[in-house]
Amino acid sequence: MVVPGSHHTEEQVFPPPLELQNDAHVPDFQSYLQLYKKSVDEPEVFWKEVAQDFFWKSPPKGQFLQYNFDVTRGSIYVKFMEGAKTNMCYNVLDRNVKEKNLGEKVAYFWEGNSPDRQRSITYRQLLKEVCRCANVLKSMETGVGKGDRVAVYLPMIPELVCVMLACARLGAVHSVVFAGFSSESLCERILDSQCLFLVTADGVFRGEKLINLKQIADEALEKCKEKGNFTIKTCIVVRHVGDKMKNGIVSNKLQTHWTAGVDVWWDEAMASAGEECEPEWVEAEDPLFILYTSGSTGKPKGVLHSVAGYLLYTALSFKCVFDHQPGDVYWCTADIGWITGHSYITYGPLANGATSVLFEGIPVYPHVGRFWEIIEKYGVSKFYTAPTAIRLLMKYGQEPLKQFNLDSLKILGTVGEPINPEAWLWFYNVVGQQRCPVLDTFWQTETGGHVLTPLPSAIPLKPGSATLPFFGVQPAILNEHGEELEGEAEGYLVRAKTPYPGYQCFIFLIEQRNAAVLPTQSQHGKGLSGPGCRRDKDGYYWITGRIDDMLNVSGKDSKNKLLDSLMNNQAQGSQLVVAHRTTHCSMDYTRLNLVINTKKGIYCTGDAIDGLPVFPVTAGKILRRVLRQIARGEKDLGDLSTLADPRVVEVLSSQRSEAA
């Protein structure tokens, strides 16, 4: 690895801002290199030191880290801190209140969908709420205990964090299902992990739209019954829009069906619950949660993370990547229904005693400057969002930003998709006022935390590159024969030659329930991650999209970035479908661009046009596989349960026939 920028490159390199360096956890490139070297040469020593910050009821019995990644030497496993006992909830709440004196510090500023709904919760209050919730879960007829699965289908409200931590306190396993998913998706996930409990809400407003969550949850439970596999004993319902119903605002829109013996109101159950609850001391490798991945390339799969490794990895990555400082107000705009929210709204920030914004709404309601308004309102210093959101807000220009003071911002981050340089530069120049590093963080549900990421004071940035590996991560690039490529290279990214604590080992595969417990399939004895990736002469990594998810343009692989740039080029949905069709007919790269550019249209990021969806999106990602399959006229489109609006398939297919 050489110091970036020491070569003449045509790429722009942005050095870290000096003003962040004084108190930074990783103050410069040399410190990064030293720490990185230690993390890969002596992982036991490195992670033992990180673990010292946390509470262990009993220490590991054997070695700190044991693993076998070599298929020729038997089955593959990773064991982290085997024999140690701890509790996640204790570490992120009790430890902060009792040992760190952070009881009165705000854990979350909750900002509702409507700007007049807000609430702040201190660490002490959150701990009390969590204990009461844990007592509620315990006291149900078939009380929740260690290892039981609890499905959580809630919007972005404090109760969501509360129930996750209550599960963690009891050693139960939460399975959060994004509240934008359909009843079918919820049913599938409840069945897959055999959940005993469901926690949901009466409803939620997303922008102006009211979504009757309870009704969707009821439909999901009906579907579970039809499939003859009903495991849910109790459904706890948070009264979230209820007070609005009393005011008559939505009273005629939202009717909550009630099943006696199953449904329980959250507030009624909580009212009589005690505020003390002894944490269940669990094993380091006991499961913490199951989360189903977005299914970018196929069936959703349940990924299971275990307690100790996930705690250390999310805690350390949050601390170093966002360079957490005591006075920070941190805001991650992701939904907790995705891994980004699990790791960097719930666990990572709380493990560091951070103050976060928890936002229920959407970026453009009630106006397109909502994000900027929230940054000003709470004095947000670290802001973490997705390239899709940036591209969406870019189209409204600089005017909405000018009305708000963004001087509190210090660090910006993105996650979820490759960020095209145009969007990167807009984020850097316009939002960050050329003061704040933009951290393009690459990682996955399976990795639990950041894998490739800049550190704000230590790593010079190149727009479009996730830069260098985080501590403990030894990425490799393989060619199609599985041979490792050295130096400058392009191929498949392998995210771990050796394991690091956040690395998940167990995958629950839908329909392959007993196919067991494999680390991510690994014909080369290494965890395969899927994305294509290039390493440049400075050792920087550039994610080029999922290998299995690329469009084929004239025999050349077009990258996800092409699609993202096309979307910036004012592409209209139907034309993009034409473009997809033409890609299949070997249209060349330049003409493809031309097709898009010469037709006037509206900017599009998976929004609806005339009320109909134009891109097959999950919450935040385009399912490129579906675009490609529709373009080819394939009939069987595989699993579509993660689509935000399933009507898109019909819309695109009919546009395809018209175009043909």
By CB under 6 A, name the binding residues for ligand WTA. Answer: 293-294, 338-340, 415-418, 440-445, 466, 530-531, 543, 546
Catalogue the E-assigned strands of 88-193: 106-111, 118-122, 149-153, 173-176
CA 193, CA 475: separation in Å to the nearest integer?
31
Closest distance between ligand WTA and the C-beta of residue 136, in Å? 31
Kindly write down the DSSP assignment for every residue of 164-224, as one continuous string.
HHHHHHHT-EEEE--TTS-HHHHHHHHHHTT-SEEEEES-EEETTEEE-HHHHHHHHHHHH
Which of residues 171 and 300 has its CB atom nearest to ligand WTA in the complex?
A: 300
Closest distance between ligand WTA and the C-beta of residue 505, in Å? 16
Closest distance between ligand WTA and the C-beta of residue 418, in Å? 4
Cβ distance 168 to 137 under 8 Å?
no
CA 614, CA 542: separation in Å to the nearest integer?
28
Which of residues 108 and 338 has its CB atom nearest to ligand WTA in the complex?
A: 338
Identify the burial level of 483 via C-beta atoms within 10 angstroms of its C-beta, where 0-12 means exposed, 13-18 middle and 19 or more buried.
exposed
Which of residues 94 and 335 has its CB atom nearest to ligand WTA in the complex?
A: 335
Closest distance between ligand WTA and the C-beta of residue 524, in Å? 18
Closest distance between ligand WTA and the C-beta of residue 552, in Å? 18
Cβ distance 89 to 100 under 8 Å?
no
Which of residues 372 and 442 has its CB atom nearest to ligand WTA in the complex?
A: 442
Which of residues 162 and 551 has its CB atom nearest to ligand WTA in the complex?
A: 551
Closest distance between ligand WTA and the C-beta of residue 523, in Å? 18
Which of residues 444 and 641 has its CB atom nearest to ligand WTA in the complex?
A: 444
Q: Which two tokens stand for residue 37?
A: 């070297």
Which of residues 332 and 393 has its CB atom nearest to ligand WTA in the complex?
A: 332
Which of residues 182 and 445 has its CB atom nearest to ligand WTA in the complex?
A: 445
Task: Kindly give, in sequence order, each residue whose CB lies less than 8 Å from that of residue 213, ignoring residues fewer than 6 positions away.
Answer: 153, 154, 155, 179, 200, 201, 202, 203, 204
Closest distance between ligand WTA and the C-beta of residue 493, in Å? 9
Closest-by-Cβ residue to ligand WTA is 445
Closest distance between ligand WTA and the C-beta of residue 529, in Å? 6
Residue 133 CA to its chain's centroid (Å): 25
Which of residues 234 and 565 has its CB atom nearest to ligand WTA in the complex?
A: 565
CA 552, CA 554: separation in Å to the nearest integer?
6
CA 96, CA 127: separation in Å to the nearest integer?
10
CB-based contacts of 141-147 (< 8 A; 24+ apart in sequence): 141/233, 141/234, 142/196, 142/233, 142/234, 144/170, 144/172, 144/196, 144/197, 145/170, 145/171, 145/172, 146/170, 146/171, 146/172, 146/280, 146/282, 146/286, 147/171, 147/172, 147/173, 147/286, 147/287
Which of residues 203 and 606 has its CB atom nearest to ligand WTA in the complex?
A: 606
Nearest to 154 by CA among 310, 313, 302, 346: 346
The count of C-alpha atoms lying within 13 angstroms of the C-alpha of 561, restricted to the half-sphere facing its C-beta, is: 17
Nearest to 89 by CA among 48, 37, 141, 126: 126
Closest distance between ligand WTA and the C-beta of residue 96, in Å? 25
Closest distance between ligand WTA and the C-beta of residue 348, in Å? 12
Q: Which two tokens stand for residue 439?
A: 């951290």
Catalogue the E-assigned strands of 333-479: 355-359, 382-385, 411-415, 438-441, 476-478
CA 332, CA 570: separation in Å to the nearest integer?
28
Which backbone phi and psi does 563 adopt, to 5 degrees?
Answer: -60, -40
The count of C-alpha atoms lying within 13 angstroms of the C-alpha of 613, restricted to the half-sphere facing its C-beta, is: 17
Closest distance between ligand WTA and the C-beta of residue 152, in Å? 17
CA 660, CA 577: separation in Å to the nearest integer?
11
Q: Which two tokens stand for residue 71?
A: 């298929």
Closest distance between ligand WTA and the C-beta of residue 512, in Å? 19
Nearest to 622 by CA among 649, 643, 596: 643
Nearest to 393 by CA among 568, 208, 618, 624: 568
Which of residues 416 and 432 has its CB atom nearest to ligand WTA in the complex?
A: 416
Q: Which two tokens stand for residue 652?
A: 């695109």
Closest distance between ligand WTA and the C-beta of residue 447, in Å? 8
Which of residues 244 and 301 has its CB atom nearest to ligand WTA in the complex?
A: 301
Closest distance between ligand WTA and the C-beta of residue 390, in Å? 12
Which of residues 300 and 460 has its CB atom nearest to ligand WTA in the complex?
A: 300
Which of residues 444 and 575 has its CB atom nearest to ligand WTA in the complex?
A: 444
CA 422, CA 391: separation in Å to the nearest integer?
9
